[in-house]
Amino acid sequence: MGALAIAEDAVSKAKAESDESRRPVHLALAQVQLAEALVETGRSSEAEPLFRMAIEAFRERLGDEHPHTLGSKSSLAGLLDHQSEFEEAEVLHRNALTGIEKLRGPEHPETLIVAQALALHLGKRKQFDEAELLMRRALTGLELALGAEHPRTAFARSNLATVLEGRGKHREAEPLLRSVLQKRERVLGKDHPETLVAVNNLAFTLSNIGEDDEALLLHQRAVEGKERTLGRAHPSTITSLQHLAGLLKSAGKDAEAEAVYNKVLMSGASTTGPDNLDTLLALANVVVLMVKREAETEALPLCRRALAGFTRTLGEEHHISVSCARRLASLESHSLVSAH
């Protein structure tokens, strides 16, 4: 039984709980479990209301400062980050960190894990000074509390590299990422999903310092490894395909990039649906490449599909939706000119 089926069964059992005093908390715990499983399968829009219901139940039954409440807030914040809903996400991240720091202390591993989540959020918002300080604090604390070889310490090392990458410190990030990859290969094996994430991360950094040949080989390794271990339609495999396509596109290998983006479309639409963000981004990139090879007529209906999906998923004011709307207007204008 997979994680999603296990979580759905937990929700059913919690709803059938005979003890009414315990049912709300048990149900909220099961809802968090289901929400996390949905996120893992790329169904984030279904996960969000479950997180919100669980938080309200925990607050009502256990209080604002309970670990279940704070942990659920941190999880929801991470989901909102993925959906680019940064304002609410930051409030939740800071609330969770303040609460868990008060409860566990500033150097407790649980506190440092929540601090990392806030640091990654701040990095996405280009608030790099605070992000780097938080991430270095987390890495130092986890090395002292858990040891340099612990998986959570390795994860913090990878996250610090992500923040360094964001502020352009690519050369400083590279040795951190090579260290993470070597440790995961040794401890987990070369095809373990976490090892393959490290492969992708190192590939990004190498691309940023101009080492495109090694970066391309690593992205291809990640795709092939995830296809073997997770399957072609798994969200993580699809994300790696996106990364590979993006590198091919930036390297000017347009035909290869378009073929990989189309592979994303076929895999993503069959599993997570046409409005999944990865699917829509792949569709938008196909449009860009089609326009580049002067296939505007064929690109026009695809651009309409992409805009409709972005509007439903992100809203018409989101910068991705706005950019797609501009491209559609340009294509429609070209179509009118061609018709005359």
- pLDDT tens digit sequence for 85-141: 999 999 999 999 999 999 999 999 999 999 999 999 999 999 999 999 999 999 999
pLDDT, position 270: 60
Q: Where does 83-192 have alpha helices with state H?
A: 86-104, 109-124, 128-146, 151-166, 170-188
Percent of the chain with pLDDT over 90: 74
pLDDT, position 340: 53
Q: Helix, strand, or coil here: 17?
A: coil
Mean pLDDT of 231-242: 87
Residue 203: give the domain boundaries: 169-269
Q: Does any domain span residue 117?
A: no
Look at residue 31 and tell me whether its pLDDT is greater than 60: yes
pLDDT, position 302: 94
Look at residue 67 and tell me whether its pLDDT is greater than 90: yes
Rounded-to-integer distance, Cα 321 and Cα 302, Å = 14
From 242, 269, 296, the end of a domain falls on 269
Q: Are 37 and 3 in contact (CB under 8 A)?
A: yes
CATH number at residue 286: 1.25.40
Q: Give yes or no: residues 297 and 245 share one domain.
A: no
For residue 302, how many C-alpha atoms fall within 13 Å in the half-sphere facing its CB?
21
Q: Where does 41-85 have alpha helices with state H?
A: 44-62, 67-82
Q: Look at the chain and report how many structural domains it folds into.
A: 2
Q: Give yes or no: residues 278 and 214 share one domain.
A: no
241-271 pLDDT tens trace: 999 999 999 889 999 999 999 998 887 666 6
pLDDT, position 149: 84
From 249, 269, 289, the end of a domain falls on 269
Q: Give yes or no: residues 228 and 264 share one domain.
A: yes
